[in-house]
Amino acid sequence: MYYQILRASFQKADVSGDGKLSHKELGLVFRRVITTLKESDIAHIVKEADTDGDGQVNYEEFVAYLQKTANAKVSKSCSTSFTKNVEADSVRATFRLWDTSGHGVIPNAELIATLMILNPTFTKTQAGALVNTIDSDHDGNVDYDEFVDFMFHRPVRPETAPWTSEASAR
């Protein structure tokens, strides 16, 4: 699960789609996990992780950096965020990585694409059905509460249950 989350997070951060993270893209990943990092910290991470010297960090360099080179602060924060997937901090970090706009929601289409990256055997219909289940208020976005409710198999929130008067009024 760790590597699936790590790969999906890397691919989500790779805005250019070239299989490498630029300084800006890498900064986005690490700042969402470690909010106190400065620009100079990001530059140092790029310098340490970029073993082929092209100024960008590919997935293999990214994983090698986290496993072997990262300082204690980065290593511990990433390990906590990416490996303890049953804890709220990890879920929150994953949600923030996938919330590319920073608006506190993941559009259903983006979540479908992310799920298809995580599990290439998913069809678009299957991923769509899953996302429609997660999006309990059916507003076209998955918010943090919906994400957590689904991850931890919490019961349907009363205000969104289809049999309530509040849901019927929508």
Q: What are phi and psi of 107, to 5 degrees?
A: -55, 140
Residues 84 and 125 in one domain: no
Cα separation of 45 and 66, whole Å? 10
Q: Which two tokens stand for residue 107?
A: 């559009």
Among 56, 90, 124, residue at a domain's last position: 90
pLDDT in tens, 17-70: 899 999 988 888 777 777 777 888 888 889 999 999 999 999 999 888 888 887
Range of the domain at 77: 2-90
Non-local (6+) Cβ contacts of 161 within 8 A are 167
Which residues on adjacent β-strands are paired with residue 106? 142
pLDDT in tens, 67-85: 888 777 777 766 666 554 4
Residues 112 and 148 in one domain: yes
User: What's the CATH number where 40 sits?
Assistant: 1.10.238.10
147 versus 127: which is more confidently predicted? 127
Residues 107 and 141 in one domain: yes
Q: Which two tokens stand for residue 140?
A: 């076209």
Report the domain count for the chain: 2
Non-local (6+) Cβ contacts of 68 within 8 A are none
Among 90, 120, 137, residue at a domain's last position: 90
